[in-house]
Amino acid sequence: MNTDDSGDGPRCLVTGATGYIGGRLVPELLAEGYRVRCLARSPGALRDHPWAGEVEAVRGDVTDAASVAAAMRDVDVAYYLVHALGTGSGFEETDRAAARIFGERARAAGVRRIVYLGGLAPAGVPERELSPHLRSRAEVGRVLLASGVPTTVLRAAVVIGSGSASFEMLRHLTERLPVMVTPRWVRTRIQPVAVRDVLRVLVGSARMPSEVNRTFDIGGPDVLTYRDMMTRYAAIAGLPRRVIVPVPVLTPGLSSHWVGLVTPVPRGIARPLTESLRHEVVCHEHDIERYVPAPPGHPLGFDEAVRLALRRIQDAQVATRWSSASVPGAPSDPLPTDPDWAGGSLYTDRRELTVNASPEALWRVIEGIGGDNGWYSFPLAWAVRGWLDRLVGGVGLRRGRRDAARLRAGDSLDFWRVEEIEPGRLLRLRAEMRLPGLAWLEMSAESDSRGRTRYRQRALFHPHGLLGHAYWWSVSPFHSVVFGGMARNIAKAAARAPLTPPSERASAR
């Protein structure tokens, strides 16, 4: 954790840095030259971010006045990006108390501006008739505006980006249900906004003149019904056209149970989201552009925002948290701190064994896999899978491998392609067989803290539509034989391998 204060840019305090928006805002602020301090209940949760060493992380909670006061010292701009969504029936009181503490401590510390991201509210609807979620968001905005610190309250509807709870609900509903019996709220008009535009406006709001103390609506150029969004998502994701049948009997409460059954989004989050969807949420004004002008091509339309959110998958790349790598990505990409249900479904089969051989011997077996050496388990199953792939127009097993002993990134390997190779350590293959989804096979050779050689193996599958989910569950009973046997036999082959590689034995002769 870096607590170096040597930078000379304005200091921003970011609350909610472990959350969806906060975790994506921090690198945008750093890129603009701001110094960033993050207030988190568990600062250790930030360590997997690539920017962790560039920020000051302090422990605290927005409901604890002392920790908020300490975090506000020498802060110019304070971002309030937390709310108690999904914490139970008392979340409105928790939000109200936290906002008051935040505003009071910001004023006492001489903070120049507060920036808050809330929810877009419907026009002409009394606040008492709003869903509890939207009502609480509106109240937090009022509390901060009345704090005595110039405040920018930004109000957004559905945020489009991988990891956004609203977007993940849309993603899972559309991908898992080719035929949907849906609540009435699928007819509700909504003005979604791309996460890139939300972040752009959040960063730009830090520079607003001191006399600005007001609410701004932010949204993309498209006003769509939820049904429109599901239909357009399906088209962009390459799914067959969805059949959507709205019915009047599904209340918001029943809807949240239905969403919880169909998707992995927790009911505590799904319920307030579905309750809010009964309201039309369309921007009433676009005054934000007077203070944060939109560059050419912005705000992004719904289709482009969805394409960016799906980009990692459509580019056939293993996303950041999928490969356990902390690499910088675009705002639309997954982050290590995103919940498990974000970023689309990913099924994983993991195997790990201690190997009675050196890491070098194990690596030679890994790098020599496929072709004439086979796949070290149930040869008939691999052969049948190759024949089936040929029958449906796939490449089958006929390609073999370019070199019997060495692999390079981009090599074909039976019905796989070498996506990544770190010699001596990691081999990742991407499936090129015909599948209702995307698949990878990853193998690695490592030494643990006790000096033992460890073999790690992962098979990953990202399903495409309902057929993809059905495919995984239909073949998963055979994984213990195919993938379990593969791991055991690779370990045995490494233990039996000669101490010198074939190339060195040949040169010795």
* Run of H or E including 212: none
Give a yes or no: residue 335 inside a domain.
no
Give a yes or no: residue 338 inside a domain.
no
Using the 3D structure, point to which of 314, 336, 365 is the last residue of a domain.
314
* pLDDT over threshold 80, residue 382: no
Render pLDDT for 57-107 as a digit per residue (tens, 0 to 9).
999 999 999 999 999 999 999 999 998 655 455 778 889 999 999 999 999
Residue 185 is predicted with a pLDDT of 73
- Pair 79, 205 in one domain: yes
User: Given CA atoms 413, 441, 333, 260 in this order, what sign does their dihedral have?
Assistant: positive
Number of folded domains that form the chain: 2
- Mean pLDDT of the region 130-142: 88
Residue 2 is predicted with a pLDDT of 41
442, 427 in Cβ contact below 8 A? Answer: yes
- Mean pLDDT of the region 316-345: 51
Using the 3D structure, point to which of 289, 314, 339 is the last residue of a domain.
314
Least confident among 53-57, 330-334, 480-484, 485-489: 330-334
Which of the two residues, 494 and 502, has the higher pLDDT score?
494
* pLDDT over threshold 50, residue 506: no
* pLDDT over threshold 60, residue 459: yes
- Pair 233, 351 in one domain: no
- Pair 442, 300 in one domain: no
* pLDDT over threshold 50, residue 242: yes
Residue 475 is predicted with a pLDDT of 87
Render pLDDT for 2-43 as a digit per residue (tens, 0 to 9).
444 445 679 999 999 988 899 999 999 999 999 999 999 988
- Pair 292, 361 in one domain: no
Residue 238 is predicted with a pLDDT of 87
- Mean pLDDT of the region 315-337: 46
- Pair 445, 302 in one domain: no
- For 97, the domain range is 11-314
Render pLDDT for 146-201 as a digit per residue (tens, 0 to 9).
999 999 999 999 999 988 888 988 888 888 777 777 777 788 899 999 999 999 99
Give a yes or no: residue 333 inside a domain.
no
CATH number for the domain that contains residue 197:
3.40.50.720
- Pair 356, 307 in one domain: no
Least confident among 83-92, 109-118, 166-175, 295-304: 83-92
* pLDDT over threshold 60, residue 505: no
pTM listed for this prediction: 0.72
Give a yes or no: residue 64 inside a domain.
yes
Give a yes or no: residue 330 inside a domain.
no
- Mean pLDDT of the region 193-215: 96
Q: Is 411 exposed, middle or buried (0-12, 13-18, 19+ CB in 10 A)?
A: middle
- Pair 377, 305 in one domain: no
Give a yes or no: residue 322 inside a domain.
no
- Pair 403, 299 in one domain: no
As a whole number, the mean pLDDT across the chain is 84
Residue 89 is predicted with a pLDDT of 59
Give a yes or no: residue 328 inside a domain.
no
Q: Report the candidate in 250, 303, 288 with the shortest Cα–Cα distance to residue 117.
A: 288
Residue 320 is predicted with a pLDDT of 32
Dihedral angle, C-alpha 154, 160, 164, 170, nearest 10 °: 130
- Beta-carbon contacts of residue 1 (< 8 Å; ≥ 6 apart): 43, 47, 52, 53, 56, 57
420, 409 in Cβ contact below 8 A? Answer: yes
Residue 315 is predicted with a pLDDT of 47
Q: How many CB atoms lie within 10 A of CB 504?
A: 10
Residue 296: phi and psi, rounded to 5, are: -55, 135
* pLDDT over threshold 80, residue 235: yes
* Run of H or E including 325: none
- Mean pLDDT of the region 325-348: 60
CA 460 to chain centre: 16
Give a yes or no: residue 339 inside a domain.
no
∠ CA 109-113-114, nearest 5°, is 95
CATH number for the domain that contains residue 484:
3.30.530.20
How does residue 327 score in pLDDT terms, banded at 50, 70 and 90?
very low
DSSP state letters, 262-324 = HSSS-HHHHHHHHHHTTS-B--S--THHHHSPPPTT-SPPHHHHHHHHTHHHHTT---TTTTT
